[in-house]
Structure formats: C-alpha cells, structure tokens
Amino acid sequence: MRYFIGNWKMFGVPKSIGILSKINSYYEKDKNRNKYRVIITPPYTLIESYSKYFNKKKILIGSQNCYQKEQFSSNTAAISPYMLKSVGAKYTLIGHSDNRKEGDSDMMLKDKVRYAIKKNLKVVFCIGENKTEKKNKKTLSVLKRQLTKVLEKKFNKNNIIVAYEPIWSIGTGKIPTAIELKKTTIYIKTVLKRIFKKNSPAVLYGGSVDGSNVEMFKDIREIDGFLIGGASKSSKKFIDIIKNYYR
C-alpha cells in the first residue's frame, strides 16, 4: 500500500472542498486505486465538514497536529485526540518541523503519539534534519534520536506511519539524491525494526514533492508514499503526482 498525504497547513475555507472533490473523482476511477490511499489534513476548522462529506468516499481526512492530553483539559485553544476523533478525523500528523520549531519536545511528542493511538487515530510521525545537521553529516544520528526518543515497542505499529521530511527541503525545491534517499529510508526502517522488534511501519518521504520529480522516487521501493505540502492545495498538481508515480 502506498500513501499520498496532503498537508494543507494554513490553507482552505469551506468552498475549498472542491479541490478534494476533483481528487476524489480521479481516485474513484483510477485503475490503480487499490494500490494507494489518499489522506488530506486540512486546518481544524474544516475537519468536521470535510469528514462528513467524504464519509462514504475514498479520501480520508486527518489533522495537522493534536494536543498531548487524551480528552479534555484547561489548555486554551488546544485540540485533543478525542476531540479530533469525535469530528471524524482518521489520522493526525505529529512532530512536523513547524511544530517542533514552536516548542514540541520529545516528551510532548511521545504523549501526543500515545494518546492519539489510544483514541485510535493513525499517527503520521514526522522526522527530519535541518540544513546545518545535514552539512555536518549528522542526518542519521538526528533521525535515530527523533525516533528512539518518541516511539516505543508498546505503541501499536499498525497505527504509525513515519514521514521523513528533511527540513532543508521543505518548500525549497531541493531534494535528496536518489542514493541519499534510499540509504536514509533503509536506515529509518532499520531503526524502526529495532524499536518494534518486527517489520517496520510504512516510511514516507516529504519535501518539495511534485509531478516532475515523483518519477525519480518510484524507483526507490523502500519509500511507501509521500507527505505533500504545496502541491496538495491544487487538485491538478496532486493528481499529477499520483499519475506520474504510476505511469
């Protein structure tokens, strides 16, 4: 199974559902539709309405983050896994570099993952190194720390997907070479197997993925799909990524 996950970030209003409707129409008719899954993470404001609309359709709706408490708390503006589940979210991103930059520690991320899984949300756990860490050849050590400090054997690995998003690649148009990406993905899966003592969860790549470079990625069989940013806000660009991957 491959995954095409769109992270809308701070984008979208109710009428933006038209973008997803076009993607869903393509998805339902695609001869390859049983080989992949489409998940979109819009802002909190759209999760409930989008989840209801796509309830019996192909596209699944997720959240871009969740709070590190299981149900309710006194934290202003916080949204818990329980609350997300109650409005129809099926997935949640956790550990995105934007949120790490805003102060998400490993301990906070571990709690987020724990409570999200407890409420039966599937977690897309984001990891990645910054430009300085890459330059200093610390990519693998950074990724190992991010994985081992948060993920535990007791977590249900069937509810976890890992997304490798090199921070230096997000929104820059720069991507790792095929050799670099293959090596890094294999390493991530090796670390995950050590954590879970069994087969690795799916590992995605994210960072400047578009319709023109996705063909390079399809030759790296270790990659199980993509976390897509800017291109997911356009039905044509998102569909082109899927088309070109299976071409």
Closest CA to 113 of 170, 45, 76, 161: 161
Percent of the chain with pLDDT over 90: 96
Tell me how far apart the 2 most distant CA atoms of the chain are, in Å.
Answer: 50
The predicted pLDDT at position 210 comes to 95
Average pLDDT over residues 174-198: 95
Average pLDDT over residues 243-247: 96
- How far is it, in rounded angstroms, from Cα 121 to Cα 144? 24
The predicted pLDDT at position 173 comes to 87
- How far is it, in rounded angstroms, from Cα 247 to Cα 232? 19
Domain span at residue 119? 2-245
- When divided into structural domains, the chain yields a total of 1
The predicted pLDDT at position 141 comes to 98
List the catalytic residues. 96, 165
pTM over 0.85: yes
Please report, for residues 15, 170, 173, 174, the alpha-carbon distance to residue 20 in angstroms, rounded to integers and kept in the order given.
10, 22, 24, 27
**CATH at 229:** 3.20.20.70
The predicted pLDDT at position 12 comes to 98
Q: What is the pLDDT of residues 33-75, one digit of tens each?
A: 999 999 999 999 999 999 999 999 999 999 999 999 999 999 9
Q: How confident is the model at residue 15 (pLDDT cuts 50, 70, 90)?
A: very high
Question: What value does the mean pLDDT of the chain take?
Answer: 96
Average pLDDT over residues 176-186: 96
The predicted pLDDT at position 198 comes to 84
What 3-state class would DSSP assign to 29? Answer: helix
